[in-house]
Chain A
Amino acid sequence: AQSVAQPEDQVNVAEGNPLTVKCTYSVSGNPYLFWYVQYPNRGLQFLLKYITGDNLVKGSYGFEAEFNKSQTSFHLKKPSALVSDSALYFCAVRGRNSGNTPLVFGKGTRLSVIA
């Protein structure tokens, strides 16, 4: 079975500092990995995904994530945090089998960027 772990419920970072939101996964075979962001009373907005190729994936709003197969991790990073980045972040995984299989989500990490 596929699963995602986001070990931190909350991450606090000062504006302008780098941020990291952690994610580890478990899946049979090679994974597709995703990061989504959710603002209050909004749906999930896609940030980035890893399918294959370069382990460093760049996405929306200056976010990037690094796929590490040996550590089964896909941590989300940003070099300089903004107050507007404060939101709920979800990591998700699906197996690399055929068809449009559903995403399995972690429990989410709340990011708070302090001015």
Chain B
Amino acid sequence: EAGVAQSPRYKIIEKRQSVAFWCNPISGHATLYWYQQILGQGPKLLIQFQNNGVVDDSQLPKDRFSAERLKGVDSTLKIQPAKLEDSAVYLCASSSGGGYTFGSGTRLTVV
């Protein structure tokens, strides 16, 4: 079974620029999550999708972050404009039947 695919692996941008991350979950997994992992901390949930609907986005900074999962498969997470404190690893995960699979993440550096 293919894993959760994420791209790009690394991204360096200047503050106030925009950036987008892409995630392709495991085939058939209806639930998709985006987590933010700041250096030295555990992953923190940003948003959860069930198919193409948002289940929980209570911790998503909606003034600058947005996410979509238009066809219930792939998802994109966007930051606009980026701040220095957005430097982190952004992890995508999908789940089915109580099992969770994580992608390798996108490491974002905002300078």
What residues of chain A have their CB less than 8 Å away from a CB belonging to chain B?
A: 4, 6, 32, 34, 36, 41-46, 49, 51, 90, 92, 99-100, 102-108
Contacts and interface: CB of A to CB of B under 8 A. Distances in A.
Contacts of B40: 107-108
Contacts of B107: 41
B41 A43 contact: no
Nearest to A34: B100
Contacts of A92: 42
Which DSSP category, helix, strand, loop or mixed, fits chain B's interface?
A: strand
Nearest to B32: A100
B95 A106 contact: no
Interface of B: 4, 6, 30-31, 33, 40-45, 48, 50, 56, 91, 93, 95-96, 98-105, 107
Contacts of A42: 104-105
A99 B53 CA distance: 14
A76 to B, nearest CB: 15
26 contacts: A32-B98, A41-B104, A42-B104, A43-B4, A43-B91, A43-B103, A43-B105, A45-B102, A46-B100, A46-B101, A49-B98, A90-B43, A92-B42, A99-B31, A100-B95, A100-B98, A102-B33, A102-B45, A102-B48, A103-B100, A104-B45, A105-B43, A105-B44, A107-B41, A108-B41, A108-B42
